[in-house]
């Protein structure tokens, strides 16, 4: 249903910022209450959302002007009656206190969603879309470095992206509202910029936070030199902003229990997102990954994020307990069940009741005990060794392993029925060598943690030492990097960790290279023709085609072809 109503504006000052704020507040409440949409139109053919401050003030409605209010939805007659009664009166008289006005104005300021996930996610997910919209977009990180501008931005400011990407906005645009937003870490909205060429541009700078950590600023720029054009596109722009909001809302928020897991790589974040979803259910989880990748940390986070977080978290390392004792460790035993059993022992299954049982290194359980483990999980009950009493249990099982369970099934080392019972939600943790971008974060974290623990001054690490750590392959993963940082802090006599305190196997990563471009033949130079032949041969071996080889060598396709023929290559 769509209805329109003609309204005469009698307010002495028309609709300016103060009255617009009151109207937007009133309209927003109506739209929410009646589930409708309201639009405003003056004598022109421009119809814009009335709930938008920018749209409303840009119409510059004066006393005596006639406007048209359009309602889309149900109960439009009732809604339009309320709107006419409100707008046609003296709105200024409804605000008696300037603080009340300021509050209303603040509540109704246009704001793009400030809970964007990260600068990288916006670039990766929306980069192609952003290049096809009319709004100029600029992204900068928390240091002020410009990381992305779209096509519209380049057009608005008549600049090429390569001329500014990687540069610091504080140096090239020190007076822009976006730099102010960066410094103050708060949104700067609806700022009017007048360029030297006379262009009038509205900017909206929105701070980006990830888990309450400031990550940078996203700024949109609208060229309003021609107001009619911008008004025509406003409705579409609002729709696009709503689209971005909805897209970002689709991504489930990760529970705060996972905040202490360090790393921003996509592979790790995928694992954390999966674990966060798993925590909302009681499904059995298998966490897989190399030793030292943080499987126990993830298991604890799942427990803390689950509805069982008030119950116990019990860990059993199946590899560290002798095979003949593991059964009694898991299920307990009665007094007199065997020699030395002088009193009843409660097993880990009972201890974990109403909580979570974490079975680390699950692949190390012997084949016979696997059958008893399967029965306990399926039946939700156990019997202590030497006893006849059945004990009911209510636990969540999380397991972990670094081994290939599928191959173990083929080799008859792991029960297939147990595998399917445990492998309901598999979570794969990536090795550190596959997420080297997280190494600086981990180094900083462990320096802080260890220095705090040892009650010593916080140390820093040199760029060169950090470069060596980033090149190392880390077979021991997170556990190894913590040990290396502990060693470096212990051995370092200075405030900064340098290369000299790193282990030799890390210091030997970068080896001196032969800097001579030309190799001598028997201690002397070869002929030009020999070098020429060798160069063409190497280029063809590397690039495979005449065309690519020619581009690499900086010569023509025909030249490469003729030389290859000459040298029988």
**pLDDT tens, position by position, for the chain (569 residues)?**
788 898 888 887 788 767 787 888 888 888 888 889 888 887 765 677 887 766 677 677 888 888 889 998 888 889 999 998 888 776 655 554 444 554 555 554 434 633 344 555 555 555 555 666 678 889 999 999 998 898 889 999 999 988 999 999 999 999 999 999 999 999 998 888 888 888 888 899 998 887 678 888 999 998 877 665 555 566 666 666 666 656 555 454 677 888 889 988 889 989 999 999 999 999 999 999 999 999 999 999 999 999 999 999 999 999 999 988 999 999 998 887 777 777 888 999 999 999 999 999 999 999 999 999 999 999 999 999 888 889 999 999 999 999 999 999 999 999 999 999 999 999 999 999 999 889 999 999 999 999 999 889 889 999 899 999 999 999 999 999 999 999 999 998 888 999 999 999 998 887 655 556 666 666 677 788 888 888 988 888 888 788 888 878 878 878 888 888 888 88
> Measuring CA to CA, which residue among 302, 322, 319 is closest to residue 311?
302
CA angle (106, 108, 114) in 5-degree steps: 85
Contact 447, 461 (CB under 8 A): yes
Strands (E), 449-505: 460-461, 496-497
Give the pLDDT confidence score for residue 229 in this predicted structure: 56
Residue 88 in tokens: 């046609």
Model pLDDT for residues 311-366, shown as the tens digit of each residue = 999 999 999 999 889 999 999 988 877 777 778 889 999 999 999 999 999 999 99
Q: How far apart are CA 411 and CA 431, in angstroms?
A: 26
Contact 160, 137 (CB under 8 A): no
Give the pLDDT confidence score for residue 110 in this predicted structure: 38
Q: Residues 60, 61, 62, 67: what is their CA dihedral angle, to the nearest 10 degrees?
A: 160
**Residue 188, φ and ψ in degrees, nearest 5:** -120, 110
Helix 528-543 vs helix 557-566: crossing angle, to nearest 10: 110
> How many CA atoms lie less than 13 Å away from 495 in the CB half-sphere?
2
Give the pLDDT confidence score for residue 2 in this predicted structure: 84
Strands (E), 449-536: 460-461, 496-497
| 239 Cβ contact list (under 8 Å, min separation 6) | none
Give the pLDDT confidence score for residue 119 in this predicted structure: 56
With tokens 């139109």, the residue in question is: 41
Strand, coil or helix: 405 = helix
Residue 286 in tokens: 């298998």
List, in order of start, the domains of the chain with CATH numbers.
2-107 (3.30.1340.10), 119-249 (3.30.450.20), 258-428 (3.40.50.300), 432-507 (1.10.8.60), 512-569 (1.10.10.60)
Q: How far apart are CA 291 and CA 287, in angstroms?
A: 11
Give the pLDDT confidence score for residue 489 in this predicted structure: 94
With tokens 């020619």, the residue in question is: 550
The b/e string for 176-205 (b: 16+ C-beta within 10 A; e otherwise) is: bbbbebbeeeebbbebebeeeeeeebbbbb
With tokens 């529970």, the residue in question is: 255
Q: How far apart are CA 479 and CA 158, in angstroms?
A: 51
Give the pLDDT confidence score for residue 511 in this predicted structure: 61
Strand, coil or helix: 396 = strand
Q: What is the DSSP letter of 509?
A: S
Q: How far apart are CA 125 and CA 529, in angstroms?
A: 52
Give the pLDDT confidence score for residue 502 in this predicted structure: 93
Residue 244 in tokens: 């971005």
C-alpha distances in angstroms, 312 versus 307, 349, 562? 12, 11, 77
Dmax over CA atoms of the chain, in Å, equals: 102
Strand, coil or helix: 13 = coil
Residues 402, 406, 411, 416, CA torsion sign: positive
Contact 286, 427 (CB under 8 A): yes
Give the pLDDT confidence score for residue 230 in this predicted structure: 53
The b/e string for 232-259 (b: 16+ C-beta within 10 A; e otherwise) is: eebbebbebbeebeeebeeeeebbebbe
> Measuring CA to CA, which residue among 441, 532, 444 is closest to residue 488?
444
C-alpha distances in angstroms, 209 versus 15, 50, 61, 169, 265? 35, 29, 37, 19, 17
| 179 Cβ contact list (under 8 Å, min separation 6) | 144, 169, 170, 173
Strands (E), 339-404: 345-346, 356-360, 381-383, 390-392, 396-401
Residue 538 in tokens: 């190497």
| 254 Cβ contact list (under 8 Å, min separation 6) | 272, 273, 276
C-alpha distances in angstroms, 443 versus 213, 270, 462? 18, 22, 11
Beginning with the edge strand found earlier in the chain, give each strand of the sheet holding 313-317 in spatial order.
313-317, 356-360, 396-401, 285-288, 425-428
């Amino acid at each position: 249903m769509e209805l329109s109503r003609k309204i005469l504006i009698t307010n002495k000052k028309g609709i300016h910022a103060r009255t617009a704020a009151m109207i937007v507040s009133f309209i927003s409440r109506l739209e929410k209450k009646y589930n409708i949409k309201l639009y405003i139109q003056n004598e022109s053919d421009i119809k814009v959302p009335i709930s938008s401050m920018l749209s409303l003030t840009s119409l510059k409605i004066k006393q005596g002007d006639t406007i048209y209010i359009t309602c889309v939805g149900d109960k439009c007659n009732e809604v339009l009656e309320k709107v006419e009664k409100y707008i046609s009166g003296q709105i200024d008289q409804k605000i008696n206190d300037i603080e009340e006005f300021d509050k209303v104005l603040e509540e109704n300021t246009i704001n793009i969603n400030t809970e964007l996930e990260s600068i990288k996610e916006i670039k990766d997910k929306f980069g192609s879309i952003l290049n096809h919209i009319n709004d100029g977009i600029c992204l900068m990180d928390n240091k002020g470095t410009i990381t992305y501008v779209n096509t519209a931005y380049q057009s608005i400011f008549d600049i090429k992206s390569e001329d500014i990407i990687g540069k610091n906005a504080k140096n090239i645009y020190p007076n822009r509202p976006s730099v102010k937003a960066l410094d103050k870490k708060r949104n700067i909205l609806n700022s009017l910029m007048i360029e030297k060429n006379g262009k009038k541009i509205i900017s909206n700078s929105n701070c980006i936070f990830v888990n309450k950590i400031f990550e940078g600023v996203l700024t949109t720029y609208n060229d309003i030199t021609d107001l009619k054009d911008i008004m025509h596109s406003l409705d579409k722009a609002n729709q696009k902003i709503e689209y971005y909001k909805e897209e970002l809302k689709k991504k489930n928020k990760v529970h705060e229990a996972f905040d202490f897991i360090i790393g921003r790589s996509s592979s790790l974040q995928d694992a954390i997102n999966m674990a966060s979803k798993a925590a909302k259910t009681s499904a059995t989880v298998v966490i897989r990954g190399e030793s030292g990748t943080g499987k126990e940390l993830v298991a604890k986070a799942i427990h803390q994020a689950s509805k069982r977080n008030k119950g116990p978290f019990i860990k059993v390392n199946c590899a560290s307990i002798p095979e003949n004792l593991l059964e009694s460790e898991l299920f307990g035993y009665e007094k007199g069940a065997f020699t030395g059993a002088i009193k009843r022992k409660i097993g880990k299954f009972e201890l974990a009741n109403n909580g979570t049982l974490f079975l680390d290194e699950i692949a190390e359980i012997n084949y016979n005990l696997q059958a008893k483990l399967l029965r306990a999980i399926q039946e939700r009950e156990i019997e202590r060794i030497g006893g006849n009493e059945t004990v009911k249990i209510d636990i969540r099982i999380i397991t972990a392993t670094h081994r290939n369970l599928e191959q173990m099934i083929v080799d008859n080392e792991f029960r297939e029925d147990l595998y399917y019972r445990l492998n309901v939600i598999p979570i794969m943790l990536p090795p550190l060598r596959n997420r080297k971008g997280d190494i600086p974060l981990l180094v900083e974290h462990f320096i802080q943690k260890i220095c705090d623990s040892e009650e010593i001054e916080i140390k820093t690490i040199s760029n060169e030492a950090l470069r060596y750590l980033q090149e190392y392959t880390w077979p021991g993963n997170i556990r190894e990097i913590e040990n290396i940082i502990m060693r470096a802090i212990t051995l370092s006599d200075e405030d900064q960790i340098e290369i000299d305190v790193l282990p030799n196997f890390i210091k030997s990563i970068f080896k001196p290279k032969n800097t001579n471009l030309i190799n001598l033949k028997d201690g002397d130079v070869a002929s030009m023709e020999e070098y020429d032949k060798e160069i063409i041969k190497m280029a063809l071996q590397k690039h495979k085609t005449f065309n690519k080889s020619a581009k690499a060598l900086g010569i023509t396709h025909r030249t490469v072809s003729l030389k290859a023929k000459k040298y029988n290559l």
